[in-house]
Structure 1
Amino acid sequence: MATQYRCLDNGRRALARDTLVDGKPVVNGIDALEVLDQEEPDLALRQRTLVVLFFHAIPELDRGRVRIEGGVRIAPVNVDWAVRADRLTAGQVNPPVQAYIDALGAAVGKERLLVVRTDVRGDFSAYRLVIERRTTDEPAFDPLLSAIDFSFKVECPSEFDCRPINECPPTTRGAPTIDYLARDYASFRRLMLDRLAVTMPGWQERNPADVGVAIVETLAYAADHLSYYQDAAATEAYLGAARRRTSIRRHARLLDYPMHDGANARAWVALEVAAGSDADGGVLPGPDAAPDSGHPGATLLTQIPAPRGSLALTDQELNRAVADGALVFETLHDVTLHASRNELYFHTWGDERCCLPKAATSAALLRQGRDARVADGELKPGDVLIFEEVRGPDTGQAADLDPTHRHAVRLTEVTFGVDPLNPADPTTPLEIIEIAWDAADALPFPLCLWTVADAGAAQVPVAVARGNVVLADHGRTIVGEPLVPPTPERPYRPRLAFGPLTRQGRARDAAGSLLLDAQGEPAVVNLAGPAADATRWEMRDVLPAAFLLDPNGDAWRPQPDLLASDRFARDFVAETEDDGRTALRFGDGVSGARPIGGLVAAYRIGNGRAGNIGAESLAHVVNGPAGITGARNPLPAAGGEDPESADQVRLYAPQAFRTQERAVTEADYAAMAERHAEVQRAAADRRWTGSWYTMFVTVDRRGTRAGSPARSSDRAFRAEIGNFLQRYRLAGHDLEIARPIYVSLDIALTVCVAPGYVRANVRQALNRIFSSTNLPDGTRGFFHPDNFTFGQPVYLSQIIAAAMQAPGVSWIDVDDAPPKPNRFRRWGKPSQGELAAGYIPMGWLEIARLDNDPNRPENGKIEFIMQGGL
C-alpha cells in the first residue's frame, strides 16, 4: 500500500525521471494522462480514448494490465484495448486522433505513450488509472507512480483550475471544554477563569483589584443578566411555563379565551333623610355624566367609630380610615332623596294576616310613609325599593326577624290611587300607591305583611319598603395622577401608583346587547332594567374603571386588547400583575394611537371579593348633603370576583376553541337556543322558502306554555330568542322562531276508593297530583309544562303509578271495553290504539299538554270515575 502524503513539491517524479544506473533508468512511472475529447471527430468515441505518458519507454502492455477505478454514477469503466503508440494498427483510431498521437510521439517518443480505449466515458467524478506492476518489467514500475488520478471531463468548460491543491492545514485546537450549565454570576466567573488558566497559563492573578479579574467579573455580571433574560423569555413563551400574569393573559387571548382580572362588588344602599333638611328633596350625585371629568359618585364608607349618616371627613381622615380597614364604595347614579320614602308601609286592603307570596310582582303601599306623605312624582317607575322584614312574624320582636327576607325591586308601574274603605276614617278615602315590578325581580320568598303589637301595644308592621335606594360599587377614585413621559428607546409602559385597579361589569339589555352611555361607551348599569341584573354581568364585559386625559383634552379609554383599534384610536390596555400593580400598554401607531406624553390618569382602586361585604356594613356618606341621618345596605354586596388564577387559565384556555359559537346545522341552532336561560329544549328545521333557506327554530320555554294567560308575553319572548340567536346565525339564512305544537290529552280513569276514604277528598288529591302547576310542597304536578318536551310520549304506566300515590286509592282500572268510559287518547281524536300500546306517541315538534281547566277543556283534561269509598 502506498503511503498517502500531500506535498508542496513533487520531487519523486524528478527522481524517477532522472535516476540512472549505468545509463539505464531505475524505475518507470506515469508522467501524465490526456483524455482526448475535441480531437475525436466521432461523438460516440469522445472521452473514451486515453493517452498515457510514461517517464521512459514501456514494454508491451495489454488491456489486462490497465485498470480504471473510481466513478460515482458511471462505474466500473472497463478497458476495451490498450496499445503502445508505436503498435497502433491502421483504423484502430480515427485519422485526426492518429495525427495527434503521431505529433505527440514525435515530441516525446511513441515508445513512452500508451493509448487506452474504454467501453464508456466516465462521469464528472475523479477516476484513477492503475498499471499492474510485474517483476519482469524492465525497468520496474514505481509503486507510487504506477497510478494517476484524472477526470474524463477535463475539457468541459470550467472556471476553476484543474490542478489539485495540496495543502497542509495548520494544527487546530480542539473545542474548549465549557460547562453549559453555568447560568449565574458565580458559575460564569468560574468558567472564564478556568478557561483563561488553560489559554493563558502564565496569568495567575486572582486579586479582585486586578484589571483582568475586573474584566472577567464585568463579563460575568453581563452574562448573568443575559442568562436571566434568556430564561425569562423562554419561560414566558409558553402558556404552560409562563409565570407573569400578562404573559398568561396574552397566550390565552391567542386561544380566544379572555382571562379576567376580577370585578368589583355592588350593593344596594338605603338612605334616610330628615324631613325638611337640605337632603330632603336634594340629589345625592353619582359619577359625572361626562366620565372624562373625573368627578366620582358620592363616597360611602363602611362602619367606623362615628354616628351613621352623613360624615364630614378630610382627605387625610379618609385615608386614615381606609388604612384602618374601612372599605370605600361610590354611588353609580344620581338619586333624589325624599323623607317620605324613608320607610313605606304595605296596604292589605283591610284584610288581616296577609302575605305577599313567592314570585309576586305587584303590591300596594300606603301613601303616608313613616316620616312624610309621598307627593306626586316622588315615587316613579325606575325607582328601586327594598322590601324588608323588620320583625319576626310570630313574636313581633326585631330580634326574631329573618335577615334573608330582604329583596330589591325596580318599579315598572306606579299608580297613585285611593281605597274608599278607610277603617280609621270612613269619611276620607285612604291614599295608596299601587306598584308593580318586573318578573325578573319576582319575590323569591313569601313576605308576611301583617302588623303586630309592640311593647306599647301599638300596631307595628312586620315588613316595610325602603325608598331612597341607590346602587353603589366598591372602589375609591384617584384623580389627577400624572404618568411618566414616554422615552423613544423603550416601549411606553407607565405604571399606576396605587392598586388594585377596579374592574367594573357592563350592562346588557334583554336581547343580550351591550348598553351604551351618552358617550357611546358600554354602560356600567342599566337604570331601566330589573334590579336583579344590577349585580349580574358577563366577565367578558368587565373593563377597568380608568381613563386618561392628554394635554389636548382628549380622553383615552380602556379596552380588553388593541386588536380592533386603528391607528387613530386613543385606547389603552390595563395589565395587572399578581402583586396588584397595573401597567398601561398603548398602541404602536398601527393598532392604536401612540401617546405623545403629558397624560393624566383618573382611576379607581378596590376590586375582588373583598368588596362582598355583609348586610349592614355600610354606614356613612362622606361629605354628603346635611340631613342624611342613616345609610345602610340591607342586602349583602354581590358580584365581587377575584382575578382568575393562572392555573385555571392553563386548564381552560386550551379547550376554549372547543366552545362552539356558530350555528350551521339544525342541531347547532337547537343547541344555541338551549343556551338561553328560559329555554328548556329546542328543535330546528331548515326549509327552502323560495329564494333562500329559512331556519325554523321551535323552543320549549320553561314553566309556561304559549297561548296560556301566563304567556301573554310570548311574542316578546320569541323576539328575544330571535335576537339571542342572531350572533350565531349563518349568513344567508333567515331565522324564524316558531311555537311548539301542543297536543292536548283526553284521559279518563276508573278509581277504586279504599274503604273509609271520602271520594271527594281522593278526587281532590288526584287533581292536585295531575295538575300543571307547582304544588305547595315545592314539587311539580304531573302535567307541569317542564315535565314534558318535544317528542316525549305519555306513558300510561307512569300515570297509574302517580295515581296510586294518592291516599285512599286501592286500584286503577283503564279498560276501555264498552260500556266502560275509560279513555287514553288525544283530545278530539278517535283512539288509535294508544291504550293497548300503553303510551301516546308524540311527533318531534309536539309536546303533551293537559291543563285540566274546565274553562278550556280543549287544553286537555283528565277525568276520574270514582267507585267505592264514602
Structure 2
Amino acid sequence: MTTRRAKVRAAQLGGVDAVEVGDDGLLLTVTFLGKAPHGLGPENVRIDGGRRVTGITAVDVSVEREEDPELDDRLYVTLDRTGDTSRYRLSLVETDPYGRPGTDPFRGFDQRYHSAAFSFRPDCPTPFDCKESQEPAHDFPQAPVVDYTARDYDTLRKLLLDRLALTTPDWIERNPADLGTTLVELLAYTGDQISYQQDAVATEAYLDTARRRVSVRRHVRLIDYAMHDGCTARAHVTVETAGDTTLAPGTFRFASVDVRALDPHDRPEPGTVIDENDLGDLDERGSVEVFEPVVATDPLELRTAHNAIRLWTWGGEVHTLPKGTTSATLRDEWRDRETCRERRLELKPGDLLVLEEVKGPRTGTPGDADPAHRQTVRLTSVRPAVDRIEDQPVLEVTWAAEDALRFPLCLTTRGGRDCLPVEDVTLARGNVVLVDHGRTLHGLPETVTVPPEPAVVAPCAPPVFGCGDRDEGNAPARLINFLTDKAESGEALVPDDIRELFTTVGEAATVRAGLGLERAGQRHERVVPGTSYAQAAALRTLLAQSVHPGIATRFRPVLGRSPVVQAVPYPEPATVAAGQAERIAAIPGRIRQRLVDLWRSARDRDGLGEEEIAELTLVYGLHVLERLELHRHPVRALRELLHRSDRLLDGKLRRVEILAARARAGTVLDPHIAWEIAHSWGPRYAAGLHPDEPVLRGPATAALAQDPRQALPAVCVQDGDESWAPRRDLLNSGPRDRHVVGELEDDGRLALRFGDGRHGARPTPGSRLAAHYRLGGGRAGNVGAEAINHLVVQGENPPAAVIRNPLPAVGGTEPEPVEQARQLAPLDLRRTRLRAVTADDYAALASALPGVQRAAATLRWTGSVQEAHIAIDAYGDAQPPAELLARVEQSLEAYRRIGHDLVVGPARLVPLDIALTVCAAPGHQHGQILAELYRVLGSGRPGFFHPDALTFGEPVRLSRLVAVAAAVPGVESVQVTRLRRLFEQDRGEREDGVLRLGPLEIATCDNDPDRPENGRLAISLGGA
C-alpha cells in the first residue's frame, strides 16, 4: 500500500518529515518531504505545547538546499530558549495581519504534514499500566413491602350480638336468614364503613400511616421530595432507505414486534414497513411495543447516502479512533464528478450518527464484530474539506466531550488467512432518530365537561373522562339519581319530591339548578319547570353542582385508560440555554477570525467582493467603512478594523455579554434573539440560536440518561384553542398559567388536578375538555438491541426501508413504590441542600457538581463582608480548568447566603520534600525495586500522591509512607529520613510522625525534574 508520504512527494507538495533537536536544545533541524519552499522566515514557525516552558519562539531560520533531486532539503531553526520534557509541535504557518505566526498551513504545504511533533529530550520507557480499574456498580436495594390493612366488621358484629344477649335474653336465633341477624350484620357493616371513613381521614393525614399513593406523593412534596411515577425508555433508531424521502411529522412511528409469539407460518420479516392496520393485527396476535419520536415536530429526512458512511483514513495512516476521541473524518462523494460542486452527504450540526463496528478487528469478518462497540454521537460541527492528495471530498465532524468514545474503534486492519488489508471495519450510520416507548391514542379524544360551579362530588367517586357523572356514594347522590330516573321515565316531579330535595341538598342549590316551588295562594303549589324531561336535565345539573352543602372538592377528572407515559421533557431547558450561551459568547472571537480571513482574501485577490463588503457594512456600519476607505484601501482598512474592533463594537459587545449571561443563568432565549443577532451581526452568527435547533439539544449520551423524578405525564388537555401543559406541581404557576398536574392513583389510572385561580388557572365552567395522551412506559420499553424492527407509516406509497436499533433501549422505570418513598423522603432532608449557610454547605454543593471530585470551603471575615472560599479538586488533575471553576461559581450563586461573597479557585497544593532510606533484601535487583518504589510513591495512578488519592486537609502520616514502601517486593526495611514542606524549615514533622495540612490544602509530590516546585522524593537504596 502506498503511504501518504510518498504521495506527497509525488505531488510535489511541501511537508515536514521530521524534527530533530540539537544538543544545546536551541537548534532544531527540520527535514522536508522533498524541497523546501521559498519565503520561509522566523514568523512562519510556530512552536506549540509544553507544560512548564511555553511560548517558545523562533529567532532565526536558515535553509540548506540539496542539489541532488533525490535528497530532501533541511531547515535550521534557532529558538529563544529550550523546552521541558513534554511534547511540542512545530508548525509552518502563514502570518497574521501583524506579522505573527497564524493558524493556517503555509501555502503549498499538505494539510496533514505542515507540522510535526518533537521532544527536547528523548522518550523513556515507562513501567506504568494505563488501564484504569472500574468499580462495579451497586444496585439500589429493593425496599421492603409492609401490609397495613385492617378490618373490624367481626368485632362490631360480636359486640352487637353480645349486647343483644344482655338486653333481649329471649332472642337466641342466630340463623343468617333471621331478621334480627340481618339487622345486626347491617348495623355492623354500616359501622364498619363509618369507622373506615373516620380512620381514613386520620390515616391519610400522616406520612407514616397514609396508604393512598396520592396522599404519600403530596406529603413528601412538602419536604421537597419528588416521588416519581416511572419513566419511559428511549433508544436511537437507524433507518436504511432505498431512496431519498421525507416523512412528515406525525405520520410515522416504530414498533418492536416479538415474532416468537406469532404463528410460524404468518411471521412478517423484520425491518418491514407496515401501516396502522397491520400494526393492529400484529398487536392482537403477539407482543408489540410501539416507539414514537421524542421530538414529534421534526420530520424524518431519509437519505440513501447516510445509510452507511465510510470513515476516511487519510491514505491508511489513521488506523484507529482511540478512546476519548471527539472528532473523525467522513468520506464524501461528488454527485457530479465533472463539476465537483454538490456533495452526497447532507450532514449538519445537530444530526445524530451511530458509530458501529461491522467487522472483527482481528479477522476482518462481520461475524466477529463486537456488538458492544456501538455508540451514538451528536455532531457539533461539520466542515467540508478535500484531500488534495487523493482528490477526495471529506467531511470533518466533531462532537461534544460528553459523547467521547468510550472504547477504541478500529478503522483498518489486516486479517484473514493471508493477512490482507481490511478496510471499513467501522462505519458511521445516519438517518438516526431518537424515540421513546409509548403509543399515542388515535381517534376521538376523551372529553369531560367542567361543572358550572366548583365541582362537589363524593370523596370516593371522582368524575371519569368519557363516563357518566352518576354517584352512588352518599344519600344526596342516591336521591338525585332516583329522581332523575323518575323524570327520565316520563313521570313529573311532585311538590313532595322538591321538598325532599330542599331538605337533603338545600333550597339555594335546588333553585339555582332550575328547580323550585311556585306558590299561587294558600293551598295551591306547583313544580317549576313543568315537563319531566326539563326536570331530568335540571337534576343532572344539580348533581354536577352540589351533592351536599359544605362538602366541596376541586374538579379532578380521571383518565379512562392506563398506564399513561411518563417522559422527561426533551430537550432540557438548561441544556438549550447553555448551548445558546456558548454560541453567543463565541461571536466576538468569530468576528476577529472573520476579519483575518477577509484580510488574507483581500491581500491575495487585491480586494473584496460585494457580499463581503455587505457583511462588513452590517457589522460596523456604512459610516465607519467610508471613513476607513474600505473600497480604496481594503487591506489597510481591515487591519484598522481588526485593531479597533472592540472600540467600534462596544455597544454590540455589551449586548452580547448581557445575552450570554442571561443564557448562562438558565434562561432559554426566545426566537427573537436569533432575529436580533442576524440583523446586528449577520445570519451566519445567528445559526443555531433558535431554541428548536437540534444542535442545542445536548449530547446524545445525555438524552438517554433520564431522571425519573423529572418525568411528566404525556398528556395534553385542550379547551378549544387553548391547551394545558403538564407540570409536577402548581407552586410556581401563576393565576393565568394553564398548567395541569397528573397524579397516579392506586389502580394505575391518572387523575388530573387543575389550578384554583391562585396557583394555576381554573378551567372555565361549562367548557368541554379533551384529553390527548399516550399509553406505555415502564420496564416494558427496555427492549434489546435489534428489537425495534418495523416502521409504521400512514398514507400511501410507503418507503422501502430497514429499521433497527443498534443499541438497546434504556431508561424504562416502574413507578416508585409507596413504601420506598415513605422511607427515603425523611432522609432526603439531610441529603439534599437547598441553601448554603455554613462552609460545609458550600463544600457539599460544590462536590455534587459534574467534574468535581472533592471540594472544601472556609468562611473568612475581610473587615466589611464575609467571603466563602471554595477550593475545587477536579478528577484526574490537580489544576481544574477555568471553565469548571466558572461553572461552579455560577451554580453556587443560587444557594449562597445573602452577605457572602464567593471566591472559587483551585486547591492549594503543598509540595513536600521526602527522603527515604531503603534496605533491599538479597536476591532482588535494585533497579526493579527502585522503579517500583517511585511508582507506588509517585503521582501516577495508583500512586500515593495521585491527585485522586488525597483530599483536602488530609495529613501525610509517616506510618503510611513506610507501609506503602515496605509492601514493595524485595524491600527489607524502610526509614524516613526527611519529611517536611518544600522550601520551608523543618517543623518536627518526622519526629511527630505526621505532616498536618490546612482545610484548603492538598499534599503533592510529583518528583518531576521539570517542575521541582511540585515536590521532591529522594530514595537511597542499599543492601545486598
How would you bin the TM-score normalised by the shorter chain? 0.5 to 0.7
- Residue 657 (structure 1) shift: 3.3
2:830 to 653, 658, 661: 658
Distance 1:593 1:645 in 2: 31
* 2:237 aligned with 1:278: no
Correspondence for 1:33: none
1:264 to 232, 235, 239: 232
Residue 243 of structure 1 aligns to a residue whose secondary structure is coil
**Cα deviation per residue 1:235-271 (whole Å; 9 max; x = unaligned)?**
4344333332222222322343221101111112222
Correspondence for 1:324: 286
Correspondence for 1:509: 574
**Relative to structure 1, is the Cα distance of residues 749 and 549 closer, same or farther in structure 2, using a 3 angstrom cutoff?**
same
| 8 A Cα contact 2:152 2:192, kept in partner | yes
**Relative to structure 1, is the Cα distance of residues 342 and 207 closer, same or farther in structure 2, using a 3 angstrom cutoff?**
closer
**Relative to structure 1, is the Cα distance of residues 836 and 592 closer, same or farther in structure 2, using a 3 angstrom cutoff?**
closer
| 8 A Cα contact 1:301 1:326, kept in partner | yes
RMSD: 4.6
Distance 2:780 2:437 in 1: 9
| 8 A Cα contact 1:516 1:523, kept in partner | no
TM-score normalised to the size of structure 2? 0.55
- Residue 601 (structure 1) shift: 1.0
1:569 to 698, 715, 737: 737
Instruction: Give the counterpart letter for 1:484 in structure 2.
Output: V
* 2:1001 aligned with 1:858: no
Distance 2:387 2:859 in 1: 56
**Cα deviation per residue 1:334-371 (whole Å; 9 max; x = unaligned)?**
3543333322334444557944333333344433699x
Residue 387 of structure 1 aligns to a residue whose secondary structure is strand
Distance 2:303 2:667 in 1: 29
**Relative to structure 1, is the Cα distance of residues 471 and 656 closer, same or farther in structure 2, using a 3 angstrom cutoff?**
same
Correspondence for 2:446: 482
Distance 1:803 1:399 in 2: 49
- Residue 493 (structure 1) shift: 2.6
| 8 A Cα contact 1:182 1:191, kept in partner | no
Correspondence for 1:34: none
- Residue 626 (structure 1) shift: 4.4
Correspondence for 1:173: none
For residues 426-575 of structure 1, the aligned pairs below 5 Å read: 428-453=390-415, 459-478=422-441, 480-487=444-451, 488-490=455-457, 491=553, 492-506=555-569, 507=572, 509=574, 527-551=696-720, 553-575=721-743
- Residue 517 (structure 1) shift: 9.3
Correspondence for 2:274: 312
2:303 to 338, 346, 365: 338
Distance 2:717 2:708 in 1: 23
Instruction: Give the counterpart letter for 1:505 in structure 2.
Output: V
Correspondence for 2:1001: 846
Distance 2:970 2:317 in 1: 35
Instruction: Give the counterpart letter for 2:352 in structure 1.
Output: V
- Residue 446 (structure 1) shift: 3.2
| 8 A Cα contact 2:251 2:793, kept in partner | no
Residue 791 of structure 2 aligns to a residue whose secondary structure is strand
**Cα deviation per residue 1:744-772 (whole Å; 9 max; x = unaligned)?**
34556677788887776666555544553
TM-score normalised to the size of structure 1? 0.64
**Cα deviation per residue 1:662-711 (whole Å; 9 max; x = unaligned)?**
221112211222222432322222233454322121121221122xxxx5
Instruction: Give the counterpart letter for 2:244 in structure 1.
Output: D
Instruction: Give the counterpart letter for 1:481 in structure 2.
Output: P
Distance 2:211 2:155 in 1: 25
- Residue 559 (structure 1) shift: 2.0
* 2:736 aligned with 1:736: no
| 8 A Cα contact 1:501 1:607, kept in partner | yes
Instruction: Give the counterpart letter for 2:808 in structure 1.
Output: P
Residue 259 of structure 1 aligns to a residue whose secondary structure is coil
- Between Structure 1 and Structure 2, how many residues are aligned? 648
Instruction: Give the counterpart letter for 2:279 in structure 1.
Output: E
1:786 to 948, 952, 961: 948
Distance 2:984 2:209 in 1: 68
- Residue 783 (structure 1) shift: 2.8
Correspondence for 1:109: none
Instruction: Give the counterpart letter for 1:582 in structure 2.
Output: L
- Residue 405 (structure 1) shift: 2.1
**Relative to structure 1, is the Cα distance of residues 814 and 331 closer, same or farther in structure 2, using a 3 angstrom cutoff?**
same
2:788 to 611, 614, 618: 618
Distance 1:264 1:182 in 2: 38
Which one is further off, 577-586 or 855-864? 855-864
Structure with greater Cα Rg:
1
**Relative to structure 1, is the Cα distance of residues 549 and 342 closer, same or farther in structure 2, using a 3 angstrom cutoff?**
same
**Cα deviation per residue 1:68-124 (whole Å; 9 max; x = unaligned)?**
xxxxxxxxxxxxxxxxxxxxxxxxxxxxxxxxxxxxxxxxxxxxxxxxxxxxxxxxx
| 8 A Cα contact 1:344 1:368, kept in partner | no
| 8 A Cα contact 1:365 1:432, kept in partner | yes
Instruction: Give aligned-pair identity as a percent.
Output: 42
- Residue 843 (structure 1) shift: 2.8
Correspondence for 1:390: 358
Correspondence for 1:15: none
**Relative to structure 1, is the Cα distance of residues 351 and 613 closer, same or farther in structure 2, using a 3 angstrom cutoff?**
same
**Relative to structure 1, is the Cα distance of residues 793 and 418 closer, same or farther in structure 2, using a 3 angstrom cutoff?**
farther
Residue 461 of structure 1 aligns to a residue whose secondary structure is coil
Work out which structure has the larger RCO, using CA pairs closer than 8 Å and 6 or more positions apart in sequence.
Answer: 2
Distance 1:436 1:801 in 2: 47
Instruction: Give the counterpart letter for 2:858 in structure 1.
Output: D
Residue 768 of structure 2 aligns to a residue whose secondary structure is coil
2:217 to 241, 244, 249: 249
Gaps of 5+ in 2: 1-149, 260-266, 458-552, 579-663, 673-690
- Residue 216 (structure 1) shift: 9.7
- Residue 840 (structure 1) shift: 4.7
1:639 to 801, 811, 821: 811
**More helix, by proportion:** 2
**Cα deviation per residue 1:712-741 (whole Å; 9 max; x = unaligned)?**
xx2211121123223322123222212221
Residue 844 of structure 1 aligns to a residue whose secondary structure is coil
Distance 2:887 2:170 in 1: 86
**Relative to structure 1, is the Cα distance of residues 350 and 320 closer, same or farther in structure 2, using a 3 angstrom cutoff?**
closer
Residue 858 of structure 1 aligns to a residue whose secondary structure is helix
| 8 A Cα contact 2:312 2:329, kept in partner | yes
Correspondence for 2:882: 715
**Relative to structure 1, is the Cα distance of residues 234 and 789 closer, same or farther in structure 2, using a 3 angstrom cutoff?**
closer
Instruction: Give the counterpart letter for 1:661 in structure 2.
Output: L
Gaps of 5+ in 1: 1-180, 286-294, 422-427, 775-779, 816-822
Correspondence for 1:684: 857
Correspondence for 1:360: 325
Residue 811 of structure 2 aligns to a residue whose secondary structure is coil
Correspondence for 2:773: 603
| 8 A Cα contact 1:341 1:369, kept in partner | no
Instruction: Give the counterpart letter for 2:447 in structure 1.
Output: L
| 8 A Cα contact 2:377 2:700, kept in partner | yes
Which one is further off, 585-594 or 796-805? 796-805
| 8 A Cα contact 1:749 1:864, kept in partner | yes
- Residue 797 (structure 1) shift: 5.3
For residues 813-852 of structure 1, the aligned pairs below 5 Å read: 815=977, 825-829=980-984, 840-852=995-1007
Distance 1:197 1:740 in 2: 84
| 8 A Cα contact 1:310 1:627, kept in partner | no
**Relative to structure 1, is the Cα distance of residues 527 and 347 closer, same or farther in structure 2, using a 3 angstrom cutoff?**
same
| 8 A Cα contact 1:515 1:526, kept in partner | no
**Relative to structure 1, is the Cα distance of residues 217 and 809 closer, same or farther in structure 2, using a 3 angstrom cutoff?**
closer
| 8 A Cα contact 1:517 1:523, kept in partner | no
**Relative to structure 1, is the Cα distance of residues 804 and 229 closer, same or farther in structure 2, using a 3 angstrom cutoff?**
closer
- Residue 606 (structure 1) shift: 0.9
Distance 1:628 1:866 in 2: 74
Residue 701 of structure 2 aligns to a residue whose secondary structure is helix
Residue 327 of structure 1 aligns to a residue whose secondary structure is strand
**Relative to structure 1, is the Cα distance of residues 367 and 523 closer, same or farther in structure 2, using a 3 angstrom cutoff?**
closer
Which one is further off, 741-750 or 394-403? 741-750
Distance 1:296 1:255 in 2: 44
